[in-house]
Structure formats: C-alpha cells, structure tokens
Amino acid sequence: MKNLFIFNSDFRLKDNPALYRASHSGDSLDALFIFNQQKWRDHNESDLKIAFQIEHLKILSKELDDLNIPLKVIFANGIKEEAPKIIEYVTSNNIHNVFVNKEYGLNEIQRNSDLERDLKKVGVKHHIFDSSIFTPDSIKTQSETFFKVYTPFSKAFRSKLSTKQIEVLGIPKKQSSKQQNSDEIPAIDLQPNKKEILDLYEIGEENALQKLEQFLDQKILRYKEERDIPSIDGTSSLSPYLSSGVLSSKQCLHYVLGKHSENDIGVRTWVNEIIWREFYKYILFHNPRVSKNLSFAEKYDDFPWSENKEHFDSWCIGKTGVPIIDAAMFQLNSTGWMHNRLRMIVAMYLTKNLLIDWRKGEKYFMEHLIDGDFASNNGGWQWSASTGVDAAPYFRIFNPVTQSERFDKDGIFIKKWLPQLSLVKNIHDPSSEERKEIGYSLHLVDLKDSRKRAIDVFSNFSK
Ligand SMILES: Cc1cc2nc3c(=O)[nH]c(=O)nc-3n(C[C@H](O)[C@H](O)[C@H](O)COP(=O)(O)OP(=O)(O)OC[C@H]3O[C@@H](n4cnc5c(N)ncnc54)[C@H](O)[C@@H]3O)c2cc1C
C-alpha cells in the first residue's frame, strides 16, 4: 500500500504526527511539497519566510532520502488549485492514503474539506492529524462555549496539562525501499539584501532543537527579568522555527517541563508565552471572522481609521521621529524579526497615535517578518488596536517615550539602530534643535494630542 504525506506548515521530521503515522501505515511513502506562490502572495507571506522554509526543505529532502521517502514537488496557482493538483498526483502515482496535519485558517480548512471530498471520489482515504498540544475543541468554558479571555483559557489549559504527560514523536520509520527519486526544490527569487538577512538564521531542525536546549540551559531562569529589554538577547528567538513548524509547541513544553519546574517564575512566564501562541490559534479556529480580515469585535467593522498615507509610509521606514519606534522598525526591516515589547509599542503607536487601521500594520508585518504567523500576528495587532480578544482597553495607550525610558533605559537598543542619536542629550526624545543638527525627523504627531484624539474617537465610537 502506498501513502502520501503533504507538508503544509510543519517542516520537521520529529513530532510530526501525520508524517509519523504515514510512515508506519504502508509499504512505501512519498512526501509532497506544493510550490504555490499565488497562495503565499494571497496570504502576505514574506519572501524571507518562504525562503527560510525552502532552505529547510532542502535539508528535509536529504533526511527523507535516508529514510527511503522521496520528496516530490508539485505546483499550484492559489489555494483552490491545491486539492485538484493533489488528486492528479494521487491518481497518477497510485496512492492509497493521504496524511496531513491540520491547519486552522478558514482557507486551509476549506482546502482540506475539498480534498477529503475529492479523495473519497477516487477511493483514497484522507487522514488528518492535529499537532497541537490540545485540540481547540477540547478546551471549553463550563457552559461549553469557547474562551475569549486568555487567563481563564490558560487556567483550563494548565489544568489539562497537569493531567497529561506531554509526549513527542520521534523520526518517521524508514521505508523498505524507495520507488522514485526526490525532485529538485525550486528556488525563490530573493533580493540580495534579503539573502543576507536569511544568512542570519541557522537552518535545520537539529539546530532549532539545539537552540531550544541552549535557551532552557542558559537563559530561561532570567527570562522574567530580561524578556522586556530589547538590547538583551533574553528571549528564545525560536519564533521563526515555531511559525514554520520546524519546531512544535509540544516539543517546547515537553523539553521545558522535562528540565525545569514551573515553580520557577522564569519558566512559568515562558510557558505562558507558549500558551499565548496556542490561545491565538484557538481563537483563529473558533472565530472565522479572524480569517476574513475582520476585527474580532464586530462593532469595529465601521471604525473611522485614518487614511493618512504619509504617516503610514513614515512608520514603515522608521521615520516617525520617535526613536524607539524608528529603531524597532529598522530592526524589522534589517533582520525580519522584532522584539515582542517593541512589536507592542510600534503597533499601539500606529493604531492609536496615528489611528491607522491595524490591518495595514498586520499586513506590513506579515510581508516583512521571517516568523510571520497569521494567528499570533493577527492576535498581537488586534490586542494593540483594542479590537481583539482580551485586548488592551482603548484608553490604556502606551506612551512610546516612557516605554523607551523604561525598557531601553540607557538607549543601547536605539543607539544600535540609530547611531546618529548616540550623542544627543535625551536619546528617548531629542530636542528640536538637536534633531535639526543631526538631521533626525521631527515628530509626525504630538504624542499627548494624538493620545487624547484616539481616546476621544474610541470613546465616541463606543457610545
Ligand atoms: C503586533 C504583534 C505582532 C506579532 N506577530 C507575531 C508573528 O507574526 N509571529 C509570531 O510568532 N509572534 C508574533 N507576535 C508575538 C511575539 O512578539 C513573538 O512571538 C516573539 O517576539 C518571538 O520572539 P521569541 O521567539 O524570542 O519569543 P519568546 O519570548 O522566547 O517566547 C517563546 C515563544 O512563545 C510564543 N509567543 C511569545 N509571545 C507571544 C505572544 N505575545 N503571542 C503569541 N505567541 C507568543 C512564540 O511562538 C515565541 O517564539 C506578535 C506580537 C505582537 C504584539
């Protein structure tokens, strides 16, 4: 019996339930990758993230080869074309069973249900696995609805966690023989500066696991104190690997809880972040509005966002005149990654001080992040814009200068990205004379006035 496993957002061998099961269920197995540039464009996936995945596939292809599993590549033009292209592959290669891991976006759910229907017609079985720690329908409130607030969700999550040992799967089983050769993995066109950025990231599942181990051995116990300081490398930097499924959340919990006790505050805080990740996936699954480019809270559908293009463009290129924001945007544009504290600061500035639609910031992030993850990015943006689940209340607006004084006290992070500010007296908010002298932008908007304007607009809208 011949089986097929399809890679979606799970670019790993270990703890990959669909691949693992497929390898134990037949006489031979093909792995399949669908090269679908139109889908990536439709979903605003950054070239950087796709190139990162392609580099992983090259390694996976060799590793699969050693297991006698050929990695085949087919092409599709948009997500709707994936099901028919898979059917073509299945029928011309005499496949009996198809194995995939679940994805929670609306388009992906639709694609899988089309696939299931079409596979049935040609007499092929579709096996769907869930690689989450807990499936989204297994966590419910007492009244059997889904949670909309993080804290009770995390309590329910933790109570399930305490009753269950988190087990992870090993590598797939070696097949007795390989019936065809692997395909060449197509390259994607990457601008030279993006190639340099890609070189900043280690490739490979084993490297990702090692990075996790190093974080657990060397940094996690200081995580609570250091995680908010962007000049310190105090977080795990695992998000690119988690977002592309090179590493699973389950592996993170398995290793952290195997090594440390949650009585330690650093450990507990980090586990909370993994639970935030699961929470946003849960929200994506339970609320289809999130996949439809709509605010979680329906009442914001007609919110009067500002259309000021000049403001938005200045934010994108880091020319807002607020040093911490400009430095953060330089970090994003130069590395494809941004520190979490800064993501909150720049998102709140865009959606409150500039009153620009969170969807514009969400898209810009997806197009530039190497760790772009639809659920977490959408959740983070809607949290900042006060339109999401368990969001920041609209009147609690960060002052970016105060945030800068608090989390980048000595301006080390700002100086790294904006060295021209090294000698000004107040690095968090230089005087107009100093700005003129060094050619640094003036404020786009007055921080106090724009804060007041945002509160007025939100409160009038909420009446
Ligand atoms: C506006 C905004 C946009 C964001 N966009 C993304 C995104 O596209 N992709 C993404 O992975 N994360 C996103 N985040 C969440 C968070 O900023 C990153 O996960 C984190 O900065 C990654 O760094 P790290 O791996 O060192 O995290 P650590 O602090 O080491 O945390 C470990 C892991 O927990 C998860 N995590 C941490 N914080 C959060 C959070 N607030 N929400 C959900 N998961 C979290 C991530 O998978 C992370 O890798 C966003 C946050 C905001 C406010």
CATH number at residue 351: 1.10.579.10
Hey, whose CA ends up nearest to atom 2 of ligand 1?
Answer: 380
Examine the domain organization and report whether 303 and 413 are in the same domain. yes
CA R_g for the chain: 23
Nearest CA to ligand 1 atom 51: 380
205 and 321 in a single domain? The answer is no
Closest CA to 429 of 316, 319, 318, 324: 324
The verdict on 250 and 392 lying in the same domain is no
Same structural domain, 237 and 380:
no
Q: Mean pLDDT, the chain, as a whole number?
A: 96
Ligand 1 atom at minimum distance from 383 CA: 53
- Asked whether residue 166 carries a pLDDT value surpassing 80, the answer given is yes
178-233 per-position pLDDT tens digit: 889 999 999 999 999 999 999 999 999 999 999 999 999 999 999 999 999 999 99
Cα–Cα distance, 286 to 308 (Å, whole number) = 33
336 in a domain, yes or no? yes
Closest CA relative to residue 47, chosen from 37, 56, 61: 37
Residue 336 sits in which domain range?
A: 298-462
Token output for 361: 């910031």
Which of the four pLDDT bands, split at 50, 70 and 90, describes residue 391? confident
Residues 312 and 408 in one domain: yes
Residues 308 and 453 in one domain: yes
Q: Kindly state whether residue 175 falls inside one of the protein's structural domains.
A: no
pLDDT at 162: 83
Q: How far does residue 334's CA lie from ligand 1's centre (Å)?
A: 18
Q: What is the CATH number of the domain that holds 277?
A: 1.25.40.80
- 78 and 218 inside one domain: no
Q: Any idea which residue has 């009153």 for tokens? A: 355
Q: Which helix (H) or strand (E) holds 325?
A: helix 323-335
CA distance 302 to 242: 34
Calculate how far, in angstroms, residue 238's C-alpha sits from the geometric centre of ligand 1: 9
Q: How far is the CA of 340 from the centre of ligand 1 (A)?
A: 6
Collapsing DSSP states into helix, strand and coil, what is residue 4? strand
Give the closest residue (by CA) to ligand 1 atom 38: 273
- Find the mean pLDDT for residues 407-429: 98
Residue-level pLDDT at 389 = 82
Q: How many domains does the chain have?
A: 3
Determine the pLDDT at residue 27.
87
Residue 146 lies in a domain: no
Q: Which atom of ligand 1 is nearest to the CA of 369?
A: 8
Locate all alpha helices (DSSP H) within 122-247, ordered by sequence.
Answer: 150-162, 192-198, 205-218, 223-226, 239-243
Specify if 52 maps to a domain: yes
Q: Which residue has the CA at smallest separation from atom 19 of ligand 1?
A: 239
- One domain for residues 208 and 250: yes
Best mutation site among 211, 229, 340, 389 for ligand 1, i.e. most ligand atoms within 8 A of its Cβ? 340
Mean pLDDT, residues 436-457 = 97
Centroid of ligand 1 to alpha carbon of 372 (angstroms): 9
Indicate whether 463 pLDDT > 80: no
Give 303-361 pLDDT, tens digit per residue: 999 999 999 999 999 999 999 999 999 999 999 999 999 999 999 999 999 999 999 99
Please, are residues 168 and 14 in contact by the beta-carbon 8 Å criterion?
Answer: yes
- Ligand 1 atom at minimum distance from 239 CA: 49
C-alpha to C-alpha distances, 459 to 65, 302, 386, 413, nearest whole angstrom: 60, 14, 12, 35
Active site amino acids? 273, 276, 305, 340, 358, 381
- Provide the pLDDT for residue 191: 93
Q: Could you tell me the pTM of the whole model?
A: 0.98
| 399 is a domain residue | yes
**Mean pLDDT (whole number) for 271-276:** 98
106 and 158 assigned to the same domain: no
Which residues are bridge partners to 129 per DSSP? 101
Q: What is the mean pLDDT of residues 375-395?
A: 93
Query: Could you tell me if 392 and 386 are in contact, meaning their C-beta atoms sit under 8 angstroms apart?
Result: yes
| Domain closes at, from 286, 320, 342 | 286
Residue 447 shares a structural domain with residue 358: yes
